[in-house]
Amino acid sequence: MSKPAFEVPPVLAPRLNRGSGSSQGLVEAHEEWIQDEDLGTSLKRRFGEWLKDLSESEVLFKKHVYDNEDLKASDMRQHRIRICTLIAEGEKLALDLLILANETNSESLVKTFVESIDETIKKLLNEFVAWHGKLDDQPDIPESFKKAAQESESGKLEDLDI
């Protein structure tokens, strides 16, 4: 008899087989526990969760990025991750709302939600560009600073007469 490709270490076997009534296989039929809710209720819940995530993220952004005197690359990476995740979740939510509206002929009911999501996504995209985009793409940076940065990068530096 050949040895299985993967053997469960004896110390883990009791944990993995807990409640199965058997110490044989690790995989058994199961039924996933889900909360029954209609699509409209689900989308309202997801919208509320998204708003909560936005609020919590803003607190984290302020602490770890905007007001951080010792900003690190990992802070910037986490900022990008959170912004991109919020944008993706918002876009998926807006799409699901539009699909529901189309299927139920209820465009007027979801319009306000989708407009709010779109407005927030626009702000998130602007925030992303402001913190992670090219210097030239940032509207709040004076043109004189952008020009000086370009000259510095290209090696066009003038000696200071001090």
pLDDT tens by residue, 67-88: 999 999 999 999 999 999 999 9
- Residue 18 scores a pLDDT above 60: no
Query: Among residues of the chain, what percentage have pLDDT more than 90?
Result: 49
Mean pLDDT of 25-41: 72
pTM given for the model: 0.67
User: For residues 78 and 145, what is the distance between their CA atoms, to the nearest angstrom?
Assistant: 27
Describe the crossing of helices 107-132 and 73-104 by its angle, rounded to 10 degrees: 160
pLDDT at residue 120 in the model: 98
Question: At 53, is the secondary structure helix, strand, or coil?
Answer: helix
Question: At 100, is the secondary structure helix, strand, or coil?
Answer: helix
pLDDT at residue 1 in the model: 56
pLDDT level of residue 123 (50, 70, 90 thresholds): very high
